[in-house]
Structure 1
Amino acid sequence: MRKSLLSSAVITALVAFSGTAWADMVIGVAGPMTGPNAAFGAQLLKGAEQAAADINAAGGVLGQQIKVVVGDDVSDPKQGISVANKFVGEGVKYVVGHFNSGVSIPASDVYAENGVLQITPASTNPQYTERGLWNTFRTCGRDDQQGTVAGDYIADHFKDAKIAIVHDKTPYGQGLVDVAKKVLNDKGINEVVYEGINSGEKDFSALIAKMKENGVSLIYFGGLHTEAGLIIRQSTDQGLKATLFSGDGMVSSELASIAGDGVVGTLNTFAPDPRRNPAAKDIVERFRASGFEPEAYTLYSYAALQIIAAAIERTGSADDAQKVAEAIKAGGPWKTALGDIGYDAKGDITRPDYVIYEWRKGDDGKPTYFEK
């Protein structure tokens, strides 16, 4: 009997040890995996999955393999909170995501209260990192940087244009245009139209008629490619000859599919193309070999997971995400697919990150965005 009890105890100890030594390290990836912005969700997911695969192939993190679990927020704040609670219930301590600022901000409150560290590859609204939370990081820049670059460019290149400022009423879209508007207004350049649209809206006839009536030749738009593409297409169809200028929400090949040939000449801000970074050469080749083009936020997501993994290694444990957060801020710059990334006390990157792109036809005849 004693022998049997001893064997059971030994077995229990071995199982417990085995579970600790060989358990997967679970990292959540959250974004719009379905719905109109699913192209961006795919970028976040593919980036994180490839990073996990590459890290696992090199031995994992502290001897553990990374397992990616997915949350689909459909770009909806309420669903984003549901995803956050789901991750918390599953014991997830690290999240790459979300995509939309309007989703990342409320989700980050849930994460902060439950010991979860969040790095967004794409949410650019300043309020995400301005609230003093311990857990909020991003690998992208901020709209107060992006909007300033856009406002200065418009003032230098379109100072005599009649400008319409249009946004999609989201924290990202309105936040972006209001920064550019302030830059322009401070320089004595005033818009002739300022309007908000609704995400998911399809018919922009009334807006286009108003812009035509006011002689608009430049539309500065805050929102995503789904609505921007329709505004471009319908403006072309209705005879409004105006350049659309927007932000990083345009960086999807789907924009050209929606907008048609009218997309040529469209401008947007985004970071210098990370696919051209020498640090990402082999990674980009692996993506392309798998049939996925790592445009826009793909490498930003890859870098987010790289930073999490490196900081966990530096800390020596994944158990306390708050300690890992402290290591991220104190331990950079971190080597990533985007190049070296360092952080300030808020969780923002410390390098400038925006340039101007123009949509033109490439050698294959298909429109895409080229750095100016």
Structure 2
Amino acid sequence: MLGGRKMAVAAGLAALLAAAPAQADILLGLAGPMTGPKATFGEQFDHGARKAVADLNARGGVLGQKIVLTYGDDSCEPKQAVAVANELVGKKVAAVIGHFCSASSIPASEVYAETGTLEISPGTTSPVYTERGLPGLFRVCGRDDQQGRVAAEYIARVFKGQPVAVIHDRSAYGKGLADRTRDELHRLGVKEVLYEAITAGDRDFSALVTRLKSEKVAALFLGGYHAEAGLIVRQMRDQGLKTVLMGGDSLVTGEFWAITGPAGTGTLMTFSPDPRKDPANAELVKYFRAQNYEPEAYTLYTYGAIQAWAQAVEKAGTTDPVKVAAVLKSGQFDTVLGKIGFDAKGDVAAPGYVMYQWKNGGYDYAP
């Protein structure tokens, strides 16, 4: 009788185990401008993240568990970013890869810090993001004070003694980058002849072009995005103005050239080293191009962010954000961005910014 009871218990346990669900998936959040005027960067995030997750899952996932992406579309709007952050936290994501615009990442990061959620941004460049000392915040890109220094030093060297102007679009990213560049110019003894704001979304910059012409501006630095940059370049050329426009990493998209056409030739921009040029990434780049997608700008930076997170999780043996953050700040990670690490603030320890130049529909390192 006792043996029969043991057999019944064993059978019951076997039935329970058979009915139990498989080990839960790891939910990973991806947040950025999936719609709106800056959706080109959300598209880059999406392509990079989907490929990184697919590659990880093909190798068995992380900690033996499959990774599943869940999306948050902030449209680069601060209030929407906060709503997205709360939604992702409510889903109990293991981490958030995002956001992109500084104006979105900064308020969203307050939510993540308060709830103990890990955030790794592929593209937030404002120093404010990591300077507040909030826990669990990381980025695999550089900072505006770094690219502002590179921009200013290039202007001071190449346009030495010529009139320079600085403008911005009032956004957290745009004004922050413009101000950092301006400060660096002043440090180098260069005083701009014009410093003013434009309005994001405007399409008529004829008044600005007239002022640039009257001041004989040789180099115009824009803290802003590719749409306004492209229109300004076109309108300068339409009025016969040869002023060279320089911007930051937000000009690293083919949409800029789609706006300017050949008029965009010679436009300069600061961005981190191009991971597409690394021979180690040849097969990955080939994969994207076979899908008729060019993995420009933040595509591979998103891929690299997920790689670093996955390696830290494996080393920590858990997705616990506190333990994963500790590993991220103490280790080195092999990624498509090269071997990277993070400092105590969460800023990436990797090569800084370089200057690029648009030509023939593409961009490459500037001479």
Q: Which moved more, 1:249-258 or 1:278-287?
A: 278-287
Give the aligned partner of residue 348 of structure 1. 347
Give the aligned partner of residue 75 of structure 2. 74
For residues 114 and 6 of structure 1, what CA distance do their matches in structure 2 show? Answer: 42
Measured against aligned partners, the alpha-carbon deviations of 1:44-75 in whole angstroms (never above 9, x if no partner) come to 11101100000000110011111111111111
For residues 262 and 290 of structure 1, what CA distance do their matches in structure 2 show? Answer: 29
TM-score, normalization: structure 2?
0.94
Q: Which moved more, 1:274-283 or 1:246-255?
A: 274-283
Counterparts of residues 59-208 of structure 1 (less than 5 Å): 59-208=60-209
Give the aligned partner of residue 243 of structure 1. 244
For residues 200 and 263 of structure 2, what CA distance do their matches in structure 1 show? Answer: 21
For residues 25 and 144 of structure 1, what CA distance do their matches in structure 2 show? Answer: 35
User: What's the offset of the Cα at 1:216?
Assistant: 1.5
Give the aligned partner of residue 329 of structure 1. 329
Measured against aligned partners, the alpha-carbon deviations of 1:232-265 in whole angstroms (never above 9, x if no partner) come to 1111112322100111110001101112221001
For residues 26 and 106 of structure 1, what CA distance do their matches in structure 2 show? Answer: 22
In structure 1, the gaps of 5 or more residues are: 362-366
The letter of the residue matching 2:338 is G
> SS of 1:145's equivalent?
helix
Residues 1:368 and 2:358 aligned together:
no
Measured against aligned partners, the alpha-carbon deviations of 1:178-234 in whole angstroms (never above 9, x if no partner) come to 111112112221111101112222221222222222221211011111110111111
> SS of 2:31's equivalent?
strand
Alpha-carbon RMSD: 1.8
Counterparts of residues 217-296 of structure 1 (less than 5 Å): 217-296=218-297
Checking the alignment, whether the CA contact within 8 Å between 1:121 and 1:301 is kept in structure 2 is yes
For residues 281 and 8 of structure 1, what CA distance do their matches in structure 2 show? Answer: 53
The letter of the residue matching 2:181 is A
Checking the alignment, whether the CA contact within 8 Å between 2:26 and 2:94 is kept in structure 1 is no
For residues 62 and 207 of structure 2, what CA distance do their matches in structure 1 show? Answer: 55
Identity rate, percent: 50
Aligned residues: 361
Q: Which moved more, 1:173-182 or 1:52-61?
A: 173-182
